Amino acid sequence: MTAFARTWDLVKEWTPNWRETASKLPSITPTWSRSFKSPYDSNYEALLGDDTGFDEGGHFGIFSHPHDDRFVVKIPRISPPEGKSLEDDAYDAIYDRIRGLTPDGRSYPQVLEELGYPVMSEMDAGLYLIQPRVASEGNSPVLAERNMGGVKGRPPMHVANTALDFMFGDRTPQNFGRDQTGNWRFLDPDVYRADMDYSEFINGEHKQQMLNEDEIQLPVTALLNQLDLFEDNYTPEGRSMLEALEPHSDNPPLLTVGGRPVWREGY
Ligand SMILES: Nc1ncnc2c1ncn2[C@@H]1O[C@H](COP(=O)(O)OP(=O)(O)O)[C@@H](O)[C@H]1O
Ligand SMILES: [Mg+2]
Query: Is residue 133 in contact with ligand 1, taking CB distance under 6 Å?
Result: yes
Q: Is 264 a domain residue? A: no
- Comparing 79-83, 184-188, 201-205, the range with the smallest average pLDDT is 79-83
Domain boundary among 106, 135, 164: 135
Give me the helix-helix angle, 204-213 and 238-245, nearest 10°: 90
pLDDT tens-place string over residues 169-182: 888 888 999 899 99
Query: Is 263 part of a structural domain of the chain?
Result: no
Domain for residue 143, yes or no? no
Res. 78: pLDDT tops 60: yes
Tell me the pLDDT tens digit for each residue of 122-139. 999 988 899 999 987 655
Shared-domain flag, residues 59 and 99: yes
Residues 159 and 63 in one domain: no
pLDDT at residue 145 is higher than 90: no
C-beta of residue 189 within 8 angstroms of C-beta of residue 124: no
111 and 18 co-located in one domain: yes
* H/E element, 98: helix 86-98
- Chain-wide mean pLDDT for the chain? 81
Residue 157, pLDDT above cutoff 70:
yes
Please list, in sequence order, all residues whose beta carbon lies within 8 angstroms of the beta carbon of residue 147, skipping any fewer than 6 positions away. Answer: 4, 137, 178
Q: Are residues 121 and 190 in the same domain?
A: no
| Residues within 5 A (CB) of ion ligand 2 | 57, 175, 188
Tell me the CA–centroid distance for residue 135 and ligand 1, in Å: 10
Extended strands (E) in 53-148 = 53-56, 60-64, 71-76, 123-124, 129-132
Please tell me the least confidently modeled range out of 26-30, 44-48, 227-231. 44-48
The CB of 114 under 6 Å from ligand 1? The reply is no
Q: Which of 175, 176, 185 for a ligand 1 pocket mutation test, highest count of atoms within 8 Å of Cβ? A: 175
pLDDT band with cut points at 50, 70 and 90 for residue 35: very low
Domain identity same for 66 and 190: no
Residue 17's domain comprises 3-135
| For residue 38, pLDDT beyond 50 | no
Of 135, 159, 174, the one marking the end of a domain is 135
Q: Number of folded domains in the chain?
A: 2
The reply to whether ligand 1 has any atom less than 6 angstroms from the CB of 140 is: no
Of 102, 135, 168, which residue is a domain's last?
Answer: 135
